[in-house]
Amino acid sequence: MIESTMINRNSHHHIAPLWLYLAIGGALLVLTAVTITVSYIDLGGWNIVVALVIASIKGSLVAMFFMHLYYDKKIYTIVIVMGLLFLSIFISLTMFDTGRRGDIYEIKSEPIKPEADFYKELPPADSLDQTGHSEH
């Protein structure tokens, strides 16, 4: 059987070859291993950046090949890019507030309540529970 890119004559749907799906799946697994490994290296503020870049590469692979954006009409990509654009507006303008309170007038801005009341009723944390599984 010839496993190459072909067009179904009746419906003009694009059929991707088997190896492509397997290769993308493999790449996603490798990238998962990479992102886990990198998370154990201390890169300071860059850890989150690296994690998000790798996640975005994985996400793009899924969207482009599993979800066929690479072959399909551009409009679908535009729809999704619009969503990401407006989501980034939401995040950035909201964080512009939460990160910059008290910038103009010198009102000290701090967490509204560093410790919620109910923590006082909990038993003291003398025997720090060591059930955490990952050691960083």
Which residues 59-88 are close enough to bind other proteins by CB under 8 A?
A: 59, 62-63, 65-67, 72-73, 75-76, 79-80, 82-84, 86-87
- Nearest in space to 4 (alpha carbons), one of 12, 22, 14, 16: 16
Indicate whether 108 belongs to the interface with other proteins (CB under 8 A).
no
Query: Cα separation of 18 and 2, whole Å?
Result: 10
120 binds other proteins (CB under 8 A): no
> d(Cα 78, Cα 80) in Å, to the nearest integer?
5
Q: How far is the CB of 66 from other proteins (least distance, A)?
A: 5
Within 11-30, which residues bind other proteins (CB under 8 A)?
11-13, 15-16, 18, 21-22, 24-25, 28-29
Using the rule CB under 8 A, which residue among 4, 5, 19, 48 binds other proteins? 48
Give the distance from CA 26 to its chain's centroid.
19
Q: Is residue 34 a contact residue for other proteins (CB under 8 A)?
A: no
Answer positive or negative: Cα dihedral of 114, 120, 124, 125. Answer: negative
Candidate list 19, 105, 106, 108; residue touching other proteins; CB under 8 A: 105
Question: How many C-beta atoms lie closer than 10 Å to residue 58's C-beta?
Answer: 19
